[in-house]
A and B are shown apart, each in its own frame.
Chain A
Amino acid sequence: MAKVRKSGQKPNNWFFSLILLVPAFIFLGTSYSDQPQLDETSMGCLKCHGLMRYTLVDPETGDSVSLKMYEELRIDIYQYVTSTHGSFSCIDCHSTDYETHPHPISVKFEPVYTCLDCHGNNEVFAEYNFNSIAEEYEKSVHSEHLVRNFSCWSCHNPHTYRNTARKGGKIIDIVAYNNSMCLGCHGEISHYAVLIQKQLTNMLSKHDWLPNQSLHFRKVRCIDCHAATNENILVAHHILPAKQAVKNCVECHSTNSILLASLYKHQVIERRNKYGFFNAGITSDAYIIGANRNYYFNVISIIIFGMVILGIIIHATFRYIHKRKKSKPA
């Protein structure tokens, strides 16, 4: 018997589901439309390199085996397409020999590109000043001690790297992203041991001297204390030996804070014209004792303080004059 829906009765659930799904599809369509799309070749690569396991087929026997895709060969698809180089096809950087399965041994000898191969002496990237970055990197402890084991890619994973310093995002996010690069090795023995045969330092106990340690770790990048700044580049690449790291509080906690030339450099450049005073870069979303001096508070406090002292001097002088008059014989 057919059911008749009475007036006021709730409509079927599928109807509501449909209504809810329409905006969901619209949302998904718009949110992904801005992301770079992967080409067919890259999709082919990621059938294996985008997964935790892959199937290897022996072309002679036709036998297949399911194998684990090791972490360093695995690409996170979302991170890749949202990264700075996410619009690239795999074979833009890698040999076309990779299209052969299983990959021939020759691919192991393919030259690895460095940043300068594309960005060096290129007018398009002039503002980044990649040549200075390379010079600064050459002076760093990483270059000095690790030589061939270390390259741009050791910190800037080409498959995930995002340029955060120039995006004007929240400082706390920039700090977290940057520090994750350092802690990728300095906080992870399996990565650290691949580079150097040395005991991994405990970062927390090593920084015991730092007051309010967790706050510093969240608000400041490792490189702000451990790298020498260079006015030609936005992000310092001359990583210093640990002994030369900043340990003097006032280098950050003063009006000429070194952070204005490092962590807040981009914001300072962006906002200097607007606000025009020394702490333009750090007044909005951060506070650094000694560095954030409110201009108006400084001026008003000096005026009030001066007036109080002047008032006391005038008051005391009048009291003295009155006392002298009183003590004089009539």
Chain B
Amino acid sequence: MKKKRVYLYPLWLRIWHHVNAVLMIVLIVTGISMQYSDPKYPLIRFDIAVNFHQLAGILLTVSYFVFLFGVLFSAIGRYYLIRTEGFTTAFYRQMRYYLYGIFQGEKNPFQVNEHQKFNPVQLITYNLIMHAITPITFITGWALIFPETIVLNVWGYSGIMLTSLVHSIAGFFISIFLIIHLYVITLGPSPKEGFKPIIYGYHEIHEETEFPDSENSPKTQP
């Protein structure tokens, strides 16, 4: 079986990804520790958790804008564009594969190539996480660092309480994303193969693979 290597993850993106991953993990662990703080079972000492959470949050904001800059002004931006034509069908096929086809030995309806590295489900998820949920967490996070900027009373409820609730919900979705993200990586031919591209930058394409006809699943590449 011939293998073709495609360079999809430039060095800066890999560094950003790993820094972002570490910051997210620090934020999740310290966030859970603060939210469920208990004098009898301290996961992390509260003041330490607060300091690390704030520091990681500030660095995550910087990291996010590095990523956004890359998406807007470098070649990786095209991978995040969603083509509306046929997207719904491709999304359905991908979901069907994940929930059914994978157990029947069907081939993945989407194959990575130089032009597309995310399947429709990944496209939706990554765009939601990176362009909606992450900004919500750091905007509400900054507001909680400077609580005087928050409207004190919203329909009879504390503005700070509502901001923190939105912050916690967004943080919760990111932690759920992280778990699913780690599991989905193992869905490839072998569990470790999924991690290789983000470490070495190259994705391996099997030349014999037949690509089904789909808007978001292009024909076989030479």
Contacts and interface: CB of A to CB of B under 8 A. Distances in A.
Interface in A222-239: none
A319 B103 contact: yes
B217 to A, nearest CB: 21
B63 to A, nearest CB: 23
A70 interface: no
B35 interface: yes
A275 interface: no
B105 interface: yes
Interface stretch (B2-10, B16-24, B112-120, B151-159): B151-159
B39 interface: yes
B160 A287 contact: yes
B172 interface: yes
Given A211-B50, A286-B161, A305 B34 contact: no
A119 interface: no
A322 B103 contact: yes
B46 A322 contact: no
Nearest to B50: A211
B144 to A, nearest CB: 8
Contacts of A322: 102-105
A316 B165 CA distance: 33
Contacts of B183: 312, 315-316
B46 A250 contact: yes
B37 A319 contact: no
A326 interface: yes
Q: Which of A283, A285, A305 has the most CB of B within 10 A?
A: A285
A304 interface: yes
B89 to A, nearest CB: 23
A304 B42 CA distance: 24
B34 A283 contact: no
Given A211-B50, A283-B157, A287-B161, A308 B38 contact: no
B39 A297 contact: no
A85 interface: no
A286 B158 contact: yes
A308 B183 CA distance: 11
Contacts, number: 87
Interface stretch (A55-63, A132-140, A190-198, A288-296): A288-296
A283 B183 CA distance: 37
Contacts of B168: 294, 297
A308 B180 contact: yes
A297 B38 contact: no
B133 to A, nearest CB: 14
A206 to B, nearest CB: 17
A304 B173 CA distance: 10
A285 B150 CA distance: 12
A19 to B, nearest CB: 36
Contacts of B42: 250
A287 B165 CA distance: 10
A250 B39 contact: yes
Contacts of A285: 152-153, 158
Contact of A312 (B46, B165, B172, B180): B180
Given A286-B158, A322-B105, A293 B51 contact: no
A284 interface: yes
A289 B158 contact: no
Given A249-B46, A250-B38, A292 B176 contact: no
A319 B172 contact: no
Contact of A293 (B35, B147, B157): B35
Contacts of B172: 301, 304-305
A179 interface: no
Nearest to B99: A315
A125 interface: no
B47 interface: yes
B38 A254 contact: yes
Contacts of B1: none
A284 B39 CA distance: 24
A271 interface: no
A308 B39 contact: no
Interface of A: 211-212, 215, 248-251, 253-256, 283-287, 289-290, 292-294, 297, 301, 304-305, 308-309, 312, 315-316, 318-319, 321-322, 326
Given A254-B39, A322-B104, 6 more contacts: A289-B50, A289-B164, A290-B36, A318-B103, A319-B103, A322-B105
20 contacts: A211-B51, A248-B46, A249-B37, A249-B46, A249-B47, A254-B38, A283-B158, A284-B156, A285-B153, A285-B158, A287-B163, A290-B37, A294-B165, A297-B168, A297-B169, A304-B176, A308-B180, A312-B180, A318-B103, A319-B187
